[in-house]
Chain A
């Protein structure tokens, strides 16, 4: 039976919902136990949140001043040690930039191969994962005689609900940490809007939006329907919006219930980021735009005319 260890992803003292999505993937392994590992300088409230996730059997905490700013170089040795000490068969992390940076370092520390972006579980060592920007899905079998390290494609799994609180246990690890990597600064584009990766509704703009100023129309519309705002690579490249708003193969891969995109033509790299959306709405001037091939509802039109009409029609 599998014993799963999940590395908690968090930001500014809040557990990221990607952790609850990784738990959902772990449940598909029908494991004997699912333990969440919280590495932080102050782990209490994070551990409390992780303990409530349905399916979690125990939360392990490691509190060290070096964990104030999570960095792969310092976290990986602790995770490898925790997995060895705990006899875990599986070590999972989310495929957020946190997990993408960290999990391969953990795998190599343990001397094992890694599965990136699990999108479906066939068995404890057999998984589906996307390749070629999601244009193909490969079923892979990992060696069953070694620890399985993997990242979970968050868009493939809904977050687990909250359940009864699992016990929390402080873990003591005898690991020396390197000092060769130092945190300098984190610049976030703080906004009151919902988080792009977890929002049930996302409004997104492309090159067709035309300018940074014009993006305001999209932001206003998003606020009206309570949506997060994303963008295509073209819009980010043109400097209309910051990089962390990019949706697609190399940006964020999202699965909102409603994805409404305006002025996005639909390059395959962008489509890779929205394939799991519930309903896709596309508005574009060009009737030939590839986005219409994947849209559930397509409307050929000028976004600057359509958006005000939409706002009005929705308020009715």
Chain B
């Protein structure tokens, strides 16, 4: 079996983001970027399938500027066999990303395309589902457990009501939730080895993808702030304040 794993470069989850004073977006310059944590879980899952002998080849893909090579190198350090970098300096929205992933899936014919359920920058939670729709493939989103079998996968999904298990025919798209696995720490020899692995450059043009009309960001602003609260000294004081507000 062959697996395609899509990764996105995003501002590191530990960074407290700064909003530009003119409202034109978020400051990216001089800010630490990493692989979107949900995509890291997707890479880890693909590597585990490979280590279990269920999968022969894992190909990492990303879409974005030159700097994204860093995230592809991380994916290769995890153990991905090769990588494809669809280069663009334009902001890529989910529907266009989905069209790119569709073109790559048609070119590479993987059995599974796995990626994070959402990127922690735009929090869209769209790309996997859109790609599945365009390819008319099954989708199993928010995966907490995946069992790969011959020609199909059994996926347990984390949903509001609890855990839902679906069986999907392959090829299929799987998006990862937080607890699918815990990604490994990368070791220096693996990072060194990754430098020699091939990264193939591609582009939207080469894949025949025209960017779809998308959303225009008019303004980026800080969220509404809550009124500052007060510290209470005792349980009695707390209870009387809650009773005053009619809350208990």
Indicate with 1 or 0, residue by residue over A138-155, a CB within 8 angstroms of chain B CB atoms. Answer: 111111001000000000
Indicate with 1 or 0, residue by residue over A210-241, a CB within 8 angstroms of chain B CB atoms. Answer: 00000000000000010000000100110000
Query: B228: shortest Cβ distance to chain A, in Å?
Result: 8
Query: Are B17's CB and A292's CB within 8 A?
Result: no
Query: Are A116's CB and B126's CB within 8 A?
Result: yes
Query: B164: shortest Cβ distance to chain A, in Å?
Result: 5
Query: Are B219's CB and A139's CB within 8 A?
Result: yes
Interface size on A, residues (CB 8 A): 87
Query: Are A108's CB and B17's CB within 8 A?
Result: no
Indicate with 1 or 0, residue by residue over B121-160, a CB within 8 angstroms of chain A CB atoms. Answer: 1111111111111101111111010000000001001111
Task: Judge whether B188 is part of the interface by a CB distance below 8 angstroms.
Answer: no
Query: Are B221's CB and A137's CB within 8 A?
Result: yes
B window 17-41: CB within 8 A of A? 17, 19, 26
Query: Are B231's CB and A299's CB within 8 A?
Result: yes
Given A104-B94, A104-B133, A115-B215, is A244 in contact with B161 using a C-beta cutoff of 8 Å? yes
Given A140-B216, A275-B223, is A292 in contact with B162 using a C-beta cutoff of 8 Å? no
- Residues of B within 8 Å of A187, CB to CB, are 162-165
Task: Judge whether B186 is part of the interface by a CB distance below 8 angstroms.
Answer: no
Query: B86: shortest Cβ distance to chain A, in Å?
Result: 18
Interface SS of chain B: helix, strand, loop or mixed? mixed
Query: A212: shortest Cβ distance to chain B, in Å?
Result: 16
Query: Are B226's CB and A294's CB within 8 A?
Result: yes
Indicate with 1 or 0, residue by residue over B114-125, a CB within 8 angstroms of chain A CB atoms. Answer: 000110111111
Q: Please measure, in the bound complex, the distance between the C-alpha atom of A71 and the C-alpha atom of B167, giving whole angstroms.
A: 11
Query: B227: shortest Cβ distance to chain A, in Å?
Result: 7
Query: Are A71's CB and B229's CB within 8 A?
Result: no
Query: Are B169's CB and A186's CB within 8 A?
Result: no
With beta carbons under 8 angstroms apart, the residue of A137, A186, A300 that contacts B220 is: A137
Q: Please measure, in the bound complex, the distance between the C-alpha atom of A280 and the C-alpha atom of B162, giving whole angstroms.
A: 26
Which of B63-71, B72-80, B190-198, B234-242 is the contact stretch? Answer: B234-242
Query: B218: shortest Cβ distance to chain A, in Å?
Result: 4
Task: Judge whether A54 is part of the interface by a CB distance below 8 angstroms.
Answer: no
Query: Are B238's CB and A297's CB within 8 A?
Result: yes
Task: Judge whether A208 is part of the interface by a CB distance below 8 angstroms.
Answer: no
Indicate with 1 or 0, residue by residue over A82-120, a CB within 8 angstroms of chain B CB atoms. Answer: 000000000000001110111111111101111111000
- Residues of A within 8 Å of B239, CB to CB, are 310, 313-314
Interface size on B, residues (CB 8 A): 83
Task: Judge whether A134 is part of the interface by a CB distance below 8 angstroms.
Answer: yes
Nearest B-chain residue to A305, judged by Cβ? B235
Interface SS of chain A: helix, strand, loop or mixed? mixed
Query: Are A113's CB and B213's CB within 8 A?
Result: yes
Query: Are B242's CB and A113's CB within 8 A?
Result: no
Nearest B-chain residue to A226, judged by Cβ? B248
Q: Please measure, in the bound complex, the distance between the C-alpha atom of A112 and the C-alpha atom of B137, giving whole angstroms.
A: 18
Q: Please measure, in the bound complex, the distance between the C-alpha atom of A130 and the C-alpha atom of B134, giving whole angstroms.
A: 26
Task: Judge whether A309 is part of the interface by a CB distance below 8 angstroms.
Answer: yes
Q: Please measure, in the bound complex, the distance between the C-alpha atom of A250 and the C-alpha atom of B224, giving whole angstroms.
A: 20
Query: B216: shortest Cβ distance to chain A, in Å?
Result: 4
Query: Are B17's CB and A135's CB within 8 A?
Result: yes
Q: Please measure, in the bound complex, the distance between the C-alpha atom of A136 and the C-alpha atom of B26, giving whole angstroms.
A: 8
Given A132-B11, A244-B160, is A112 in contact with B95 using a C-beta cutoff of 8 Å? yes
Given A126-B218, A279-B247, is A107 in contact with B166 using a C-beta cutoff of 8 Å? no
Q: Please measure, in the bound complex, the distance between the C-alpha atom of A155 and the C-alpha atom of B200, giving whole angstroms.
A: 44
Query: Are A132's CB and B138's CB within 8 A?
Result: no
- Residues of A within 8 Å of B93, CB to CB, are 113
- Residues of A within 8 Å of B164, CB to CB, are 183, 185-187
- Residues of A within 8 Å of B55, CB to CB, are none
Which of A26-34, A57-65, A174-182 is the contact stretch? Answer: A174-182
Task: Judge whether A249 is part of the interface by a CB distance below 8 angstroms.
Answer: yes
Task: Judge whether A72 is part of the interface by a CB distance below 8 angstroms.
Answer: yes
Interchain residue pairs with CB less than 8 A apart (14): A97-B142, A101-B157, A108-B98, A111-B212, A126-B218, A131-B122, A132-B11, A136-B220, A142-B215, A187-B164, A201-B247, A225-B248, A258-B247, A299-B234
Return the 7 tightest CB-CB contacts between A and B, nearest first: A108-B133, A104-B129, A108-B130, A104-B126, A188-B162, A296-B229, A184-B165
